[in-house]
């Protein structure tokens, strides 16, 4: 897969949604249990990004702009997904960090001059964030490429990746993978979101299964029923 497939907010001062709350829903058995969110363990994604991307550099600006676009879309999906319990704090953090491994890839068009193929940025990001103890965020990095990669996909396409399942499992992983498809990291294309038709056309180059997965997400995530917020029950 090339860079164009994967590549394709109301926030408080530390970049956390004001009404964010931890998830209490049931998780997929292969997903880590969510950490209880509190004021002492909220992370600062921009500070983490700045450790490897000099603020003001082309790569930093690209990563933060793209992350903010994906985060805004992901939070909008979460606000209308009435049937799910979603950890919105984690959702926002992970959306900002999902592409953090890209600086280690050889992608000059994005200001990245590393040694690895672009397709590796998800697994590189996982390794980077696991080194910081951010295991849940790390899995989002690995599981957002395309619509997710199975071990079979990796083998059939002879991708330079570990042969293991890299499909999104937790609801937050699915939402970020979905939201990511709407935005290019290219500075020439960052102004407007892609349409669902444009995304389908890109995914179809890889066969019908990715298209079917994305279309299922569209049906599931574009339900425009707003989830109640805590403020709805005050006053």
pLDDT tens figures, 30-85:
444 444 433 346 799 999 999 999 999 999 999 999 999 999 999 999 999 888 89
Higher local confidence (pLDDT), 151 or 10: 151
Higher local confidence (pLDDT), 82 or 229: 82
Q: Which domains does the chain have, with CATH numbers?
A: 45-233 (1.10.3210)
**pLDDT tier at 210, thresholds 50, 70, 90:** very high
- Give alpha helix (H) positions in the chain: 45-50, 58-80, 88-97, 121-130, 135-143, 151-156, 171-180, 196-203, 208-221
Q: What percent of the chain has pLDDT over 90?
A: 69
The span from the CA of 189 to the CA of 233, in Å, is 41
Sign, CA dihedral 39-133-105-153, equals: negative
- Give alpha helix (H) positions in 51-170: 58-80, 88-97, 121-130, 135-143, 151-156
Could you tell me the pTM of the whole model? Answer: 0.79
Measured torsion, CA atoms of residues 182, 70, 97, 137, in degrees rounded to the nearest 10: -90
The strand pairing partners of 17, in sequence order, are 11
Question: How many other CB atoms are found less than 10 A from the CB of residue 139?
Answer: 25
Task: Write down the residue that tokens 């590796």 correspond to.
Answer: 120
Most confident of 39-48, 162-171, 186-195: 162-171
Q: Would you state the structure tokens that stand for residue 232, as one six-digit string?
A: 């709805």
**pLDDT tier at 20, thresholds 50, 70, 90:** very low
Relative to beta strand 106-107, strand 112-113 is antiparallel
Q: Would you state the structure tokens that stand for residue 107, as one six-digit string?
A: 């992608």
**What integer is the mean pLDDT of 96-116?**
95
Q: What percent of the chain has pLDDT over 70?
A: 75
Report in angstroms the alpha-carbon separations of 189 from 59, 94, 134, 207.
15, 23, 31, 24
**What integer is the mean pLDDT of 213-220?**
96
């Amino acid at each position: 897969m090339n860079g164009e497939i994967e590549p394709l907010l109301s926030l408080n001062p530390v970049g956390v949604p004001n009404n964010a709350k931890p998830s209490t829903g049931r998780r997929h058995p292969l997903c880590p249990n969510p950490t209880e969110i509190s004021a002492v363990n909220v992370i600062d994604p921009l500070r983490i990004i700045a450790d490897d991307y000099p603020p003001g550099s082309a790569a930093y600006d690209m990563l933060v702009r793209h992350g903010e676009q994906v985060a805004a879309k992901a939070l909008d999906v979460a606000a209308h997904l009435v049937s799910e319990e979603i950890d919105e704090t984690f959702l926002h953090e992970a959306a900002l960090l999902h592409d953090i491994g890209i600086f280690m890839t050889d992608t000059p068009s994005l200001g990245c001059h590393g040694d690895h193929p672009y397709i590796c940025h998800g697994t590189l990001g996982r390794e980077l964030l696991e080194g910081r103890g951010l295991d849940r965020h790390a899995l989002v990095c690995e599981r957002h490429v395309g619509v997710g990669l199975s071990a079979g996909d990796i083998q059939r396409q002879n991708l330079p990746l570990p042969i293991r399942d890299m499909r999104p499992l937790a609801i937050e992983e699915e939402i970020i993978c979905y939201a990511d498809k709407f935005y290019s990291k290219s500075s020439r294309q960052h102004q407007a979101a892609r349409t669902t038709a444009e995304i389908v056309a890109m995914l179809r180059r890889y066969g019908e299964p990715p298209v079917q997965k994305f279309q299922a997400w569209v049906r599931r995530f574009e339900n425009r029923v707003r989830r109640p917020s805590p403020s709805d029950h005050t006053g």
